[in-house]
Structure 1
Amino acid sequence: MSEHTLFDRKLIAKRRMAALKRAEGGVDFLMKAAAADLEERLSFISREFTCAVDLGGHTGHIFETLKSSGKVKHLIRADVFGADPNLPAPDLIVDDAVLPFAPESIDLIVSALHLQLLDDLPGTLIQIKRALKPDGLFLGLLLGSDTLAELRDCLMRAEMEVSEGVSPRVIPFAETKDLGGLLQRAGFALPVSDLDRLTVRYDTMFDLMRDLRSMGAANPLHDRLKKPTSKKIFMRAAEIYVQDYSDPDGRIRATFTFASLSGWAPHESQQKPLKPGSAKQSLAEALGTKEIKS
């Protein structure tokens, strides 16, 4: 086991497949929101892609959005870890930590709500960039900073009160500015990262936790507490949640942050930044002021 292992990937795969088999109604709301985000982003792109990959596949929402966009000629569904039993068989089953795509073979790769569960996100971004043809596009959406901030805060404070210690219970989420830097380091041209927030309301903290389990998104950390948590901790956390994160009607708020990423495989046709000193007009001239030289 690597000393840098953050996630229990076998546990993630097991829980994800169990959740897909249960297919509880309504718990795919995050994937539906991700598909709506993708649809909007594609609407601003005025080009057609010969070959595209839905890197994730599960629930089919991203696949259907790409298919109905009219911008993809050949679409590949690559389910992560295992096939979604509620959909037709995927074209591929992959581990998104080790991608099987040939270099410069794909025009568009889309990944929604999977990449936040990778130990080596920079490594996967490098693999995605390598798989793209020149001027190929990557569109990613992952859960970013502030996701489940309320739950993290309440569980931490409750555990400190009850047991005078803290164990990791909510995964760390990347900051948007860091994700933009990762795109640059992976070799993408014209990298863009953005942030959007979705607030979901629940009757109680336990309803939120039930949804997370139904998504297969319960604590996946490798260093999670391996023994059962005291009921006192959860009861106290629920009290803190109502106290600090509830609306006037008594319902609690849960924040999900969507970090959207886009980057292009470099190509000579793309716009390049100007070299320093190549401007034909000084800033003072542009502003209509007099330049003062030291």
Structure 2
Amino acid sequence: MTTPTYYKALNWAFLLLKGKKLDDYGAEYVLLERQDWRKTDLSFHEREPMPPAVWQRFQQDVQALLTGEPAQYLLGHAWFAGLKLQVTPATLIPRQETEELVAWAGDFAERFQQPRILDLGTGSGAIALALQQRFPQAEIWASDLSTEALRVAQANGQRWQLPVNFVQGDLFAAVAQQPAFDVIISNPPYISHHEENVMDYSVKHFEPALALYAENDGLALYQRIAADVSAHLTAPGALFLEFGYQQAPAIQQLFEAIQPARPVVIRRDLAGWPRMAQIGPQASMSPRLK
């Protein structure tokens, strides 16, 4: 039996996924990853018939995508800052926007000779591992409440031979006995339960609720971080946070009230949304320069 060309197979998948109002890019992403191709490879081969085994696997993958399962969970991995990381339903799928937060925090960390860095709510370990790759000399700790997520993060660290210290615990409780850090970074749960009805189906039904939702209109974790961060952050250090696109005013007000000595800077992502904040360093403090 003649198999379709790559071009026709993808069009078939796109129509099915669009018909269910699902992300049609997932089909192309899965195909490229299965073939270990780039988009240029697909352009070169798109008029060729799919080998029967590839067509059979692609049909199976499309059926899974039609359930709403994210492509990254289907494959078992996602890319973040150049790292191929294992992901499971116990961990959030790392997003490109978070790479922007990591780059910002990394540029700040350059001013320290051997920065001590803490990643709160590490999930797959993406943030901590990306920073460890950039700063081999850094001492990096990463905490998470979920033991299942930590197993994934530890496996990712072992795969890339990056010596992040992964520890289980609720926010700062996991590093209570550690000296203060120069950089603390977090992408905590920030979605209000009131927003569930407008969330993407795949996110709502497949990604871990523990890593998505927070009380107090999504601000509960930021309130706890604001209350406790001073005990864990050096005076010349800074806290970096990601948050929802509508939460910037609340985040700024919260940290200016609780941490008045540390100025708050809000930054927009590449799409133009205010999604990140730097809190600190303390006013009039000179950083420990290289």
Structure with max Cα Rg: 1
TM-score, length of structure 2 as denominator length: 0.47
More strand by share: 1
More helix by share: 2
